[in-house]
Amino acid sequence: MISNLHIGFDARHLTSKVLRGMDRYTVGLVSELVNQGVQVTLFHRACEPLNLAHIKNLRCNIVGLKDYSGLHWEQIVLPLALLKGKFDLFHAPAERGVPLFAPCPVVFTIHSVTGNSYYNLVQSGLLPGCVSDYLGYDFNPSSYSFWNHLFRLQLFRANYIITPSDFCRSEVIRFLNVHSSRVITTHLAAHQQFEKPARPENERDTLLKSLGIKKPYLLYVGGYEPHKNVAGLLETFAIVKKTRSDLMLVIAGSKFIPKSLKQKALALNLNANDVLFLVDVTDELTDLYDSAELFVTLSWRETFCLPALEAMKRGVPVIGSQWGAFSEVAGDAGQVINPNDYTGAANTILQMLKPEKRMFLSDLAYQQAQKFNWKKTGKETLNIYKILRGKCRQ
């Protein structure tokens, strides 16, 4: 326990309808910090209330600050609030929000340098085409914009930068030219909902039926953005179906279902009985993992892949890209594939569906998942806070 440590957090992103990666990171970390005796205040814009469902059990202070714009809130209103409240430290956990004139030390969490990473993959020839094919927009690291410049200034202002994986840490150091001594990895962990015991199978089956899911099925959880390569997953599944016609593919994405993906499925002769697209699944997600045969993602590269960890927490074998942090998270419990090789990925899926193989990997997956927990992440983050507080008192 550490007494009298008061930390402010930028919590503006917790207005979302459902928790995604950065949201789950913030909620999980704050909850554990409070458990370890830290006083936490979540700051947000007064005109954008936080989603009460996300913060109701956090036992921390919630402060809405009035402003004229998001930039005014971040760079003028927030630092004044930190000064007035005599905060020991400020943490920007969601890739934005570093007040350049903060009156206290600042920790900045960067979850991914997606644009830089895909620019490099295309330039190196690992991915064909152009960057916009994968991001949905053009990206060039040498181009100038006000927001890119502001981000660079925030990088410079932060005392320490936290990343969710060693892979992400290496990319931040390499692509953003940040000195390695300022970048520290603290791994993510699964949300507490994935700690609960599985519901009886008959209750899960009732839920699955209401959603239009038939067993056995493969499961993908994540975004629908182009770089998640859901189109490639559909192509892979079409190959798998030639051998396992009984299988269904359940895709649990967020925000909205791109029309192009539905068209892709139809072009592959995959109908509504073969593929189910879902949006913003929340409480039901645990049941979806518990009844799945495998978790599969063909996302080109992930800087953590939290859904894979969630699946492993439920004892579900996982398959993911050989690029990125998937293997760092999954360890020997995960099967890596070349996300460019759909036939190879399909063969890996078919091998893992064999009962003896699946049972073996299920046990490994659960054991691997136990290595990631919020208590450990909270302790590692708290150590960073202590270092900064110690420097301020010298």
pLDDT in tens, 162-199: 999 999 999 999 999 999 999 999 999 998 889 999 99
Q: How many CB atoms lie within 10 A of CB 240?
A: 21
Domains of the chain plus CATH, in order, are 6-189+373-393 (3.40.50.2000), 194-369 (3.40.50.2000)
In the numeric block, which tokens belong to residue 156? 């410079």
What pTM does this model have?
Answer: 0.93
In the numeric block, which tokens belong to residue 105? 């030390």
The answer to whether 330 touches 324, Cβ cutoff 8 Å, is no
> How sure is the predictor about 393, in pLDDT bands with cuts at 50, 70 and 90?
low
Sheet containing strand 294-296, edge to edge, reads: 275-279, 248-253, 217-221, 294-296, 318-321, 334-337
Helix, strand, coil tally for the chain in percent (to 5): 45, 15, 35
| 3-class secondary structure, 6 | strand
Question: Rounded CA gap, 236 and 128, in Å?
Answer: 18
The pLDDT, as a whole number, for residue 3 is 55
The pLDDT, as a whole number, for residue 254 is 84
Question: Rounded CA gap, 261 and 246, in Å?
Answer: 22
The pLDDT, as a whole number, for residue 1 is 46
- Asked if residue 216 has a cis previous peptide bond (ω within 30° of 0), the answer is yes
Contacts of 67 (CB under 8 A, 6+ apart): 45, 46, 47, 73, 76, 77
| 3-class secondary structure, 277 | strand
* H helix or E strand, kind and range, residue 276: strand 275-279
List pLDDT tens digits, range 21-57: 899 999 999 999 999 999 999 999 999 999 998 998 8
> How sure is the predictor about 281, in pLDDT bands with cuts at 50, 70 and 90?
confident
Which residue reads 């046990």 in tokens? Answer: 363
Rg (CA), the chain: 22
Question: Rounded CA gap, 163 and 180, in Å?
Answer: 12
> How sure is the predictor about 16, in pLDDT bands with cuts at 50, 70 and 90?
confident
| 3-class secondary structure, 201 | helix
The pLDDT, as a whole number, for residue 2 is 53
Question: Rounded CA gap, 193 and 197, in Å?
Answer: 9
List pLDDT tens digits, range 209-261: 999 999 999 999 999 999 999 999 999 999 999 999 999 999 999 888 999 99
Which residue reads 């879902």 in tokens? Answer: 278
DSSP 33-93: HHHTT-EEEEEEETTS---HHHHTTS-SEEEEE--SSHHHIIIIIHHHHHHHHT-SEEEE-
Contacts of 259 (CB under 8 A, 6+ apart): none
* H helix or E strand, kind and range, residue 217: strand 217-221
Question: Rounded CA gap, 331 and 367, in Å?
Answer: 10
Question: Rounded CA gap, 281 and 199, in Å?
Answer: 17
The pLDDT, as a whole number, for residue 133 is 92
Q: Measure Cα distances from 391 to 155, 195, 257, 381 in Å.
A: 19, 37, 49, 16
Q: 216: alpha, beta or left, given left = phi > 0 and alpha = psi -120 to 50?
A: beta
